[in-house]
Amino acid sequence: MKTQVGVMGSAGGELSREQLDCAYRLGKAIAERDCLTVTGACPGLPDAAAHGAHDAGGLVMGISPAHSREEHVDVYASPLEPYDAMVFSGSGLMGREVDNIHSSDFVIFVGGRSGTLGEFAIAYDEGKLIGVLRHSGGLSDDLASIAKMTGKETGAHIIEDEDPEALVERCLKMYETASHPFLTSPALAQPETPTARI
């Protein structure tokens, strides 16, 4: 099974050509390393990453907040192309964030506003490997500081880089050579919980 790499970031707001190009390169780099790209199937930077992955011959899976194709397009104003597969979660924008993170072996953040911050909080709390594309706008340069501000160790590992290709390479190397798998259960990620089994 291919490694599934989530790309989370700004779906709207003012996005520069430079930001969109960085996200496109991110998706392209993921595909060139034979990984599957996962996004929230939304417009903006995740859409640019999806197109980069698709154009490089990679597979792209979207996690939609909608119940159906029709709702995805008509209510959420989101694209169906260039996705190879779409999961219609029916859980709305906030609920979909959890599915995004759980469907990704590791997650890379580009830009970001409040929705992206929610996805980052889930990934951090659940001990994921997290990549951050620095200088990509939005919250990207603040995410590592936000994690430190929580005062909480979850087992998450944050890698930051301003070069999309280098970031993908570094994250993949960390993911493939880690001595233990990156955890995806809130209980496992927090050793102080009574149910933890490390």
Q: What is the DSSP string of 86-137?
A: EEE--SHHHHHHHHHHHT-SEEEEES--HHHHHHHHHHHHTT-EEEEETTSS
Find the mean pLDDT for residues 33-42: 97
End-to-end CA distance of the chain: 25
Q: What are the φ and ψ backbone dihedral angles of 160, each rounded to 5 degrees?
A: -115, 140
What's the pLDDT at 178?
Answer: 80
Which H or E run includes 61? strand 60-64
pLDDT digits (tens, 9 = 90+) for 1-11: 999 999 999 99
Count of CB atoms situated within 10 Å of the CB of 92: 12
Q: What pLDDT, in 10s, does the model give residues 136-193? A: 999 999 999 999 999 999 999 999 999 999 999 999 999 998 866 665 555 555 555 4
What does the chain come to in residues? Answer: 198
Contact 103, 72 (CB under 8 A): no
Express the helix, strand and coil content of the chain in percent, nearest 5 each. 40, 15, 40
pLDDT digits 0-9 by tens, 83-119? 999 999 999 998 999 999 999 999 999 999 999 999 9
Under DSSP, the state recorded for 84 is S
> Is 4-189 assigned to CATH 3.40.50.450?
yes
Give the predicted TM-score (pTM) of the model.
Answer: 0.89
Our separate counts of H helices and E strands in the chain read 8, 7
Cis bond before residue 191 (omega within 30° of 0): no
